[in-house]
Amino acid sequence: MPIPSRSQGFSVGPQDASITIDIFLDLTCGDCRSIFPTMLDLINEYNEKIQIKFHTFPLPYHTYSFIVNQAVHVISHLTHGNIKSILCYMKQIFDQQTQFYDYSTLNMSRLQIMKLVSSFIPSTIDKQKFLNGLGDATINREGTIAFKYGCSRGVVGTPTFMINGVIVQGETEKWTLNNFKLILDPLLNNNRYPSCKTPKNLVCCFANNIRQCPRLGCHCFYLNTKNLCEI
Q: Which domains does the chain have, with CATH numbers?
A: 10-189 (3.40.30.10), 194-231 (no CATH)
22 pLDDT above the threshold of 50: yes
Give the model's pLDDT for residue 198.
39
Mean pLDDT of 136-164: 96
205 close to 228: Cβ distance less than 8 angstroms: yes
User: pLDDT: is 155 or 3 the higher one?
Assistant: 155
Q: What rounded mean pLDDT belongs to the chain?
A: 87
Residue 194: which pLDDT band, with cuts at 50, 70 and 90? very low
Least confident of 4-8, 49-53, 73-77, 158-162: 4-8
Q: What is the pLDDT of residues 178-187, one digit of tens each?
A: 999 999 999 9
In whole angstroms, what is the distance from residue 51 CA to residue 16 CA? 8
217 pLDDT above the threshold of 60: no
189 pLDDT above the threshold of 80: yes
126 close to 33: Cβ distance less than 8 angstroms: no
Q: What percentage of the chain exceeds 70 in pLDDT?
A: 83
pTM of this structure: 0.81
Element (H or E) spanning 65, and its range? helix 65-78
Residue 230: which pLDDT band, with cuts at 50, 70 and 90? very low
Q: Exposed, middle or buried: residue 69 (CB in 10 Å: 0-12, 13-18, 19+)? A: buried
Cα-based torsion angle of the residue sequence 165, 169, 173, 176 in order, rounded to the nearest 10 degrees? -90
